[in-house]
Chain A
Amino acid sequence: MEFVIGKYNYWFYIFLMMIGLYAMIAKKNLIKKLVGMNIFQTAIILFFVSMGSKKGATIPIIQAGQAVDAAHYMNPLPHVLMLTAIVVMVSTFGVALALAILIYKRFKTLEEDEMQ
């Protein structure tokens, strides 16, 4: 039981990641594949942020007038790296949608089966 309580957050995020992976592999519409990629990246971001939490800690903004105790605040490093990851997610999604518009103009369809 200790094993489940200690690690169940990782299992939730792995479940979300597998939903995104399935959508990327098995769906035939291009937009559904892109949505699957978005779900996958969001799950990875949440996974990283959950790795930086501590028991009984608060947000990493130092409160004024007290001595700083590093075990009292959350780890700021995963938050910083995930800000970068969110921006990369938005950029990739924007460029992918632009490519999807170009594909639609050329082939008149977005299903993978009807394109040659």
Chain B
Amino acid sequence: MKIFALIAVIITGGLLVFSTNEMPDWGSLASPATTHVSPRYLEKTIEETATPNAVTSVLADYRGYDTLGETTVIFTAGIVCILLLRRGKKS
């Protein structure tokens, strides 16, 4: 049983390593992740938001709606833990 799992994992790992052939090099400046909108965030963050920390300004100002959804996710996780485990003397 564990042999099948090992073979499946090795085949998946091999496929993933083979697919890194077409990915950009480590630290290259022409990769698609670094050329579309992130230079704009870096250049405009001080004059538009007065925040030197680019990560905080992107998280809370440019992408603030996603952070609202994120806070709702962790709020839901807390409520679910309370609901699952607090079955006290009432039941």
Which residue of the partner chain A has the closest CB to B44?
Answer: A68
A83: nearest chain-B partner, CB-CB:
B59
CB distance A62 to B33 under 8 Å?
Answer: no
Interface of chain B, helix or strand or loop or mixed? helix
Are A14 and B17 in contact, CB atoms less than 8 angstroms apart?
yes
Shortest CB distance A78–B (Å):
7
Residues of A within 8 A of B54 (CB): 60-62, 73, 76
Q: Are A98 and B2 in contact (CB under 8 A)?
A: no
Q: Which residue of A lies closest to B83 (CB)?
A: A98
Could you tell me if A53 and B27 are in contact, using CB atoms closer than 8 angstroms?
A: yes
New A-B pairs, 6, CB < 8 Å, besides A17-B16, A18-B9, A77-B38: A18-B10, A22-B6, A50-B26, A61-B55, A75-B33, A92-B77
Residues of A within 8 A of B (CB): 6-11, 14-15, 17-18, 21-22, 25-26, 50-55, 60-64, 68, 70-71, 73, 75-80, 83-84, 87-88, 90-92, 94-95, 98-99, 101-102
Q: Which residues of B contact A (CB under 8 A)?
A: 1-2, 5-6, 8-10, 12-13, 16-17, 20, 23-29, 31, 33-34, 37-39, 41-43, 45-46, 52-55, 58-59, 63, 66-67, 70, 73-74, 76-78, 80-81, 84-85
Q: Which 4 A-B pairs have the closest CB atoms?
A: A91-B77, A70-B39, A6-B25, A26-B5
A-B contact pairs, 13 of them (CB 8 A): A9-B26, A10-B23, A11-B20, A14-B17, A17-B16, A25-B5, A60-B55, A61-B54, A62-B42, A70-B43, A80-B59, A84-B70, A101-B85
